[in-house]
Amino acid sequence: MLYAVLQFLHVMAVILWVGGMLFAHCFLRPAAAKLDPPVRLPLLASVLGPFLNAVLAAIVLILVTGAWMIGSSASQAAQTGGSFFMPRNWTLMASGGIVMMAIFGHIRFALFKRLAAAVAASDWPRGGQAMAGIRRWVGVNLLLGIAIVAVMFLG
């Protein structure tokens, strides 16, 4: 039962992260692009701030639940006298997740910081540059996230 709860929490955190990127990249951004920079950039900054904080919490949950599930599987193998070899798709998921987390760190702690500073200073060209970087890296992370989900469900 505990394993199922951990798996549920893990998947829900992934849904928040990947689903949020899909919504922001494919729906919010194109709609906001119709607005002038003095309206668009503060709007995007005010949406992205809480979203990125939620993703940070989701990442912690993903790491904790993932490590717990791997440890639980390894422990069961050891208790039965067997050996534990992490399945290839788990290894790909974990490796891809680490890459995604590094990209997220760049978005949250470098690019978003630049966007927030530009919005606070009403520096719309600099804010646009930061937003372009965020858009590019969110696109990369979105593709990685979809690929990881595909590997997990399609094998």
- Give the DSSP letter string of 112-125: HHHHHHHHHTT-HH
Give which of 82, 73, 59, 58 is closest to 3, Cα–Cα: 73
Sign of the alpha-carbon dihedral angle for 99, 118, 49, 18: negative
Tokens 């990947």 belong to 18
Domain of 20, CATH number, reads 1.20.120
Per-residue pLDDT tens over the stretch 41-50: 999 999 999 9
Instruction: Please tell me the total count of domains within the chain.
Output: 1
Range of the domain at 91: 2-154
Our separate counts of H helices and E strands in the chain read 7, 0
Q: And the tokens for 43?
A: 């709007």
Per-residue pLDDT tens over the stretch 80-110: 988 888 999 999 999 999 999 999 999 999 9
